[in-house]
Structure 1
Amino acid sequence: MADFGTVPCSLHVETLVQLCIKYVSQRADILEKRAFGLPDSLLKDILPHLNIFHLDKIDPAVQSKGISTSFVWKTIWKDVVQTWRGRSMAAHPDHDWKQKCLERLFHMALYSRIKGEKKYLSQLSEADILSITAKHVHVLSLFGPSGGVCRLASEELHPTLSVLEQGVRCIKLQDGYCLVKHRGTDLMYLLHRLLDHGSVKEVVVHRRLGFELQTWITTRCRGPDKTLAKSTGNGLLQQRDLPLDTTSTACHDPSHNTSHMGSPGIHFCVKQEGEMACKRRRLSLISRTAEVELHSQFFKNPFLPSCGPVCPEGQITSLDMEVTPYDIAHILSPSLPFWLCLQSLQLHIRWADKDSELLVLVSSLQALCKNPACSLLELSINVAHHTPMEVLLEACPTLKSLSLEICSAPGDSRNMLTSKDPSDQSVFSLETLYVKSFTLQMDLESFCSALKRAPSLTSVHISGIHPAPPVLHTLSESNRFLKVLTLHDVNLANCHSEILQLLENLMLEELCFKNCRLFDKCPIKEDFLRPFVSTLKGRPSLQSLALPQNRLAKSVIELADLFVGSAQSRITTLDLSSNFILAADLLELSTALSTNRPSQTLTLDLRLNPLDRDPEVKGQAFRKLFPFCKLVTDQWDSRTSMADHISVM
Structure 2
Amino acid sequence: MRDTGRKAEQRSPTVVCLKEVCFQAVRKHFAALATEAVLDLPTPLIKDLLRHLTVCQLDELQPALNQRGISTLSGWLGVLQDMCGPKHVIEQHTEEEAKHEVMRMLFTLVFYGFTNPFVKRNITNLNTPSFLWAAAKCIRHFFLSTSLHKRLQGLTAEERPLLNLLEKRIRSVGVSQCIDLSKRKTQTALYVLHRLLDHGVAKELVVHAKCPIVLAWLLHGRGSQYRNPELMNLMHSQKPSCVSPAASASADRASCSPGLETRMSEDQDDEVTPCKRSKLDSVSVEEEESRKANLTVDPQLLCQTFSPCDGPSAVACPWGQIDCLEIRQCGSDSLRVLNSALPTFSCLRSLTLHSISTFRDSDVLDLARALRQLSDSSCSSLTDLCISILPYTKLVVILLDASPNLTSLHVTIQNVMWDPRFSQHRPRTAESDKSAELPLEKLTVKVAELQTDLHFITSVLRRSPHLTSFHIAGIRLPTGSSQSRLLATLSESNHFLRSLNLEDMNLSDCLPEILNLLRDCKLEELQFNDCRLLEKWSNKEESLQQLVAALKTVPTLHTLSLAQNRLAKNVCVLAELFSGCSPSSVRRLNISSNFIQPAELLEFTNRLRTHRPPHQLTLDLRKNPGDRDPETWNTAMRGLRPFCVLLFEGWTSTGTMSDHISNM
TM-score band w.r.t. shorter chain: 0.7 to 0.9
**1:245-284 equivalences in 2 (<5 Å):** none
Moved more, 426-435 or 514-523: 514-523
Task: Provide the residue aligned with 2:251 in structure 1.
Answer: none
Structure-2 separation of matches of 1:320 and 1:474: 33
1:87-130: CA deviations, max 9, x gaps?
Answer: 53125533211111122221111221236786755455344432
Whether the aligned pair in 2 keeps the contact of 1:346 and 1:381 (CA below 8 Å) is yes
- Within a 5 Å distance, the mapping from 1:360-509 to structure 2 comes to 360-382=366-388, 383-408=390-415, 411=419, 414=422, 422=432, 424-467=434-477, 468-509=483-524
- Equivalent positions of 1:102-251 (< 5 A) are 102-114=103-115, 121-123=123-125, 125-147=127-149, 149-176=151-178, 184-209=186-211, 211-219=212-220, 221-222=222-223
- Secondary structure of residue in 1 paired with 2:381: coil
CA contact (8 A) 1:431 1:456 kept: yes
Q: How many angstroms apart in 2 are the aligned matches of 1:352 and 1:516?
A: 26
Distance 1:156 1:305, change over 3 A: same
Q: What is the distance in 1 between the residues matched to 2:49 and 2:354?
A: 48
Q: Tell me how far 1:556 sits from its aligned partner.
A: 0.2
**Which of the numbers 365, 380, 392 marks the counterpart of 1:359?**
365
- When residues 534 and 164 of structure 1 are mapped into structure 2, their CA distance, relative to the original with a 3 A threshold, is same
User: What is the match of residue 590 of structure 1?
Assistant: 605
In the alignment, residue 458 of structure 2 is paired with which amino acid? C
Secondary structure at the aligned position of 1:493 is classed as: coil
Counterpart of 1:438 in 2: which secondary structure? strand
Q: After superposing the two structures, state which structure 1 stretch, 143-152 or 183-192, moved more.
A: 143-152
Q: Counterpart of 1:344 in structure 2: which amino acid?
A: S
Could you give the per-residue CA deviations for residues 575-622 of structure 1, whole angstroms, max 9, x where no partner exists?
111111122111111111111111222111111112233232223222
Contact 2:226 2:340 (8 Å CA) reproduced: no
Aligned-pair CA distance for 1:385: 1.4
CA–CA distance in structure 2, aligned partners of residues 622 and 172 of structure 1: 42
Deviation at 1:346, TM superposition (A): 0.5
> Distance in 2 between the 1:165 and 1:628 partners?
44
Cα root mean square deviation, aligned = 3.1
Match of 1:344 among 346, 350, 359: 350
| TM-aligned CA distance change 1:290 to 1:384, over 3 Å | farther
Q: In the alignment, what sits opposite 1:47?
A: 50
Q: Return the TM-score normalized by structure 2.
A: 0.80
Secondary structure in 2 matching 1:501: helix
1:526-550 CA-to-partner distances (Å, cap 9, x unmatched) read 1421111111112222221101111
Contact residue 540 and residue 569 of structure 1 kept, 8 A: yes
TM-aligned CA distance change 1:591 to 1:139, over 3 Å: same
Corresponding residue number in structure 1 for 2:631: 616
**Cα offsets for 1:542-577 (capped at 9, x unmatched):** 221101111111110011111111121111111111
Alpha-carbon distance between aligned partners in 2 of 1:55 and 1:180, rounded to the nearest angstrom: 45
Change (3 A) 1:22 1:59: same
Q: Could you say if the C-alpha distance between residues 33 and 293 of structure 1 is closer, same or farther in structure 2, counting changes exceeding 3 Å?
A: farther
- Give me the whole-angstrom Cα distance separating, in 1, the residues matched to 2:102 and 2:452: 42
3-state SS of 1:360 partner: helix
Contact 1:388 1:418 in 2 (8 A): no
User: Is 2:82 aligned against 1:79?
Assistant: yes
The match for 2:259 is none
Letter in 2 for 1:509: E
8 Å CA contact 1:476–1:505 kept in 2: the answer is no
Indicate conservation of the 8 Å contact 2:76/2:102, yes or no: yes
State whether structure 2 residue 39 is matched by structure 1 residue 36.
yes
Question: Which of residues 528, 537, 550 in structure 1 aligns to 2:543?
Answer: 528
Work out whether residues 53 and 75 of structure 2, in 8 Å CA contact, stay in contact via their aligned partners in 1: no
Alpha-carbon distance change, 423 to 514 in structure 1, aligned in 2, over 3 angstroms: closer
Q: CA deviation at 1:441?
A: 3.5
> How far does the alpha carbon of each residue in 1:450-490 deviate from its partner, in whole angstroms, 9 at most, with x for none?
11010000000001013322221211111111111001101
Is the 2:618–2:644 contact (alpha carbons within 8 Å) kept by the matching residues of 1? yes
Q: Structure 2 CA distance, aligned partners of 1:389 and 1:424?
A: 17
**Alpha-carbon distance in structure 2 between the residues aligned to 1:554 and 1:547:** 14
- CA gap 1:79/1:399 in 2 versus in 1, 3 angstroms: same
| CA shift for structure 1 position 172 | 1.7
Cα deviation, 1:177-217, whole Å, max 9, x if unaligned, reads 589979522221111111111121111111212x3211121
SS at match of 1:385: coil
Offset at residue 386 of structure 1 (A): 4.4
Number of residue pairs the alignment of both structures matches = 578
Q: One-letter code of the match for 1:447?
A: I
* TM-score (normalised: structure 1): 0.81
Deviation at 1:376?
Answer: 0.8
Q: 1:417-447, CA deviations, whole angstroms, 9 ceiling, x for partnerless residues?
A: 6799537432110000010001134333222
Distance in 2, Cα, partners of 1:556 & 1:182: 63
Instruction: Verify the 8 A CA contact 1:580 1:610 in the aligned structure 2.
Output: yes
Of stretches 160-169 and 300-309 in structure 1, the one that deviates more from structure 2 is 300-309
Distance 1:551 1:296 in 2: 58
Q: Which secondary structure state, in structure 2, belongs to the residue aligned with residue 172 of structure 1?
A: strand
User: Given that residues 212 and 291 in structure 1 are in contact (C-alpha distance below 8 angstroms), is that contact kept between their aligned partners in structure 2?
Assistant: no
**Runs of at least 5 residues in structure 1 that lack an aligned partner in the other structure:** 1-10, 230-283
Shift of residue 288, structure 1, vs aligned partner:
6.9
Q: Residues 266-292 of structure 1, C-alpha deviation per residue, up to 9 Å, x if partnerless?
A: xxxxxxxxxxxxxxxxxx766776788
Q: Which has the higher helix share?
A: 2
**Match for residue 270 of structure 1?**
none
- The aligned residue for residue 281 of structure 2 is none
Letter in 2 for 1:193: R
**Matches for 1:546-585 after TM superposition, within 5 Å:** 546-585=561-600
Alpha-carbon contact 2:558-2:586 (below 8 Å) kept? yes
- Residue deviations 1:51-105 (CA, integer Å, cap 9, x gap): 22222111112222222222222222233345x84x5312553321111112222
Q: Which residue of 1 aligns with 2:334?
A: 327
Q: 1:58 aligns with which of 52, 61, 66?
A: 61
Aligned 8 A contact 2:89 2:648 in 1:
yes
Partner of 1:265: none
Higher deviation after alignment, 318-327 or 176-185:
176-185
Q: In structure 1, what is the Cα distance between the partners aligned to 2:21 and 2:530?
A: 53
Shift of 1:409: 7.7
Output the amino acid matched with 2:107.
Answer: F
| CA distance, structure 2, for counterparts of residue 379 and residue 149 of structure 1 | 34
Residue of structure 2 equivalent to 1:300:
301
Partner Cα distance (2:643, 2:131) in 1: 40
Name the counterpart of 1:310: 316
Question: Which residue identity does 1:498 align to in structure 2?
Answer: E
Residue of structure 2 equivalent to 1:70:
73
Are the structure 2 counterparts of residues 366 and 419 from structure 1 closer, same or farther at C-alpha, using a change threshold of 3 Å?
farther
Q: State the secondary structure of the residue aligned to 1:422.
A: helix
Which letter maps to 1:101? V
Q: Which stretch has the larger CA shift, 284-293 or 563-572? A: 284-293
Q: Deviations over 1:356-378 (max 9, x none)?
A: 22222101101112233211110
